[in-house]
Amino acid sequence: MVLKWIGALLVIGGSGALGFCYGGQLRRRLLQLRTVRQILYMLKGEIHYSAVTLPESFFHIAAKTPQPFREFLERVAGRLYALDGECLEQVWQQELRGIKKKLNLSAEEIGEWEGLGGRLGYLDRRMQLQLIDLFLTQWEEKIRLLEKECGKTCRLYQYLGVLAGLLLTVVLL
């Protein structure tokens, strides 16, 4: 009998943890979306006020950005400084692939972030800033929607996890 109760607790605990884990992922996704927004704001500032080059901007921004974006920006900047004959788009995509496992963003969001690399650098400053503004608007919208849903969805995942555990326990018992 004791073993049955221990088993039931483990099942409920496990599925509850799974629910919390999904909720946490959602929160981390929101956090990463905000980080991307912060990077875009900083990049805009670097281009607008300092007019420094992209590698230089990436180094500056990396110093104020949490992982895994710090690693990403530092690696991109390092490779661009090396002038090894690779284009920015290529370097950006390759380095993004390197941190993909550490990202909680959706495939669509990663695709958009990947696309930014191909559009940076070429245009004049005004166009460059407009491009970043466009990206910012899109990310702001994503963040707004996710913030609205995040609390509810997180709780839902947690309840679902615990309830699913209870259901499984009842069925098994």
Partner 1 sequence: METGREGSGAAIRDGIPGREDRSYEVIRILPRQLRDKLRYGIPDFGRLQELRFRVGEPLGAVYEGKNLWVTWSGSLSCGLDEPILVTREMIREMLEYISGYSLYAFEEEIRQGFITIPGGHRIGLAGKVAMEDGAVKTIRHISFLNIRLSHQVFGCAKKLLPFLYCNGRIENTLLISSPRFGKTTLLRDLIRLVSDGNAYGEGVNTGVVDERGELAACFQGIPQNDLGRRTDVLDGCLKAQGITMLLRSMAPSVIAVDELATAEDIRTMEFAMNSGCTFLATAHGGSLEEIRRKPLFCSMMEAGLFQRIGVLGMNRIGDEVRERKGDKFRGGNRDEDRNSEENRDRDGGRNRDENRVRNRGILIYDSSFQEMTEGYVWY
Report the C-alpha gap between 154 and 30 in whole angstroms: 12
Whose tokens are 């940076």? That residue is 120
Inter-helix orientation angle 125-172/2-45, to 10°: 180
Report the C-alpha gap between 39 and 20 in whole angstroms: 28
- Examine residue 47 and tell whether it contacts partner 1 (CB under 8 A): yes
Binder among 12, 33, 40, 54 for partner 1 (CB under 8 A): 54
Binder among 82, 145, 167, 172 for partner 1 (CB under 8 A): 82
- Examine residue 60 and tell whether it contacts partner 1 (CB under 8 A): no
- Examine residue 145 and tell whether it contacts partner 1 (CB under 8 A): no
Beta-carbon neighbour count of residue 165 at 10 Å?
22
- Examine residue 63 and tell whether it contacts partner 1 (CB under 8 A): no
Binder among 49, 101, 107, 124 for partner 1 (CB under 8 A): 124
Q: 43 or 162: whose CB is closer to partner 1? A: 43
- Examine residue 115 and tell whether it contacts partner 1 (CB under 8 A): no
- Examine residue 116 and tell whether it contacts partner 1 (CB under 8 A): no
- Examine residue 72 and tell whether it contacts partner 1 (CB under 8 A): no
Cβ atoms of 98 and 80 closer than 8 Å: no
DSSP characters over 11-38: HHHHHHHHHHHHHHHHHHHHHHHHHHHH
Helix-then-strand count for the chain, H and E: 6, 0
Count the residues of the shown chain that bind partner 1, applying the rule CB under 8 A: 25
| Residues from 17 through 46 that contact partner 1 (CB under 8 A) | none
Q: Give contact residues for partner 1 (rule: CB under 8 A).
A: 47, 51-56, 59, 78, 80-85, 87-88, 120-125, 127-128
